[in-house]
Amino acid sequence: MEARKKQFPNPSIPQHVGIIMDGNGRWANFRKMPRTSGHLEGLKAAKRIIRAAVVRNISFLTLYAFSTENWKRSEQEVSFLMGLISTYIKKEYPFYREQNIRILHTGDRSGLPEKVTNVIDEAAAYTASHTGLTVCLAINYGGRNEIVRGMEKAFKLHAIADSAAGSDRHALENSFRNFLDNPDIPDPDLIIRTAGEKRLSNFLLWQSAYSELFFSDKLWPDWKAGDLDNALVDFRNRKRNYGGIDN
Which amino acids are annotated catalytic?
22, 70
**CA–CA separation, 219 vs 28, rounded Å?**
10
Residues binding Mg ion: number (CB under 5 A): 1
Contact 105, 64 (CB under 8 A): no
Site for ligand IPE contains 104 (CB under 6 A):
no
What is each CA distance from 167 to 152, 161, 172, in whole angstroms? Answer: 21, 10, 9
Nearer to Mg ion, 13 or 139 (CB): 139
Nearer to Mg ion, 22 or 41 (CB): 22
Nearer to ligand IPE, 13 or 190 (CB): 190
Q: Which stretch binds ligand IPE (CB under 6 A): 23-31, 48-56, 146-154, 165-173?
A: 23-31
Q: Which stretch binds Mg ion (CB under 5 A): 17-25, 53-61, 132-140, 231-239?
A: 17-25
Contact 112, 71 (CB under 8 A): no
- Decide: helix, strand or coil at residue 157: coil
Site for ligand IPE contains 218 (CB under 6 A):
no
Binding site residues, ligand IPE, CB under 6 A: 20-26, 64-67, 70, 81, 195, 197, 199, 201
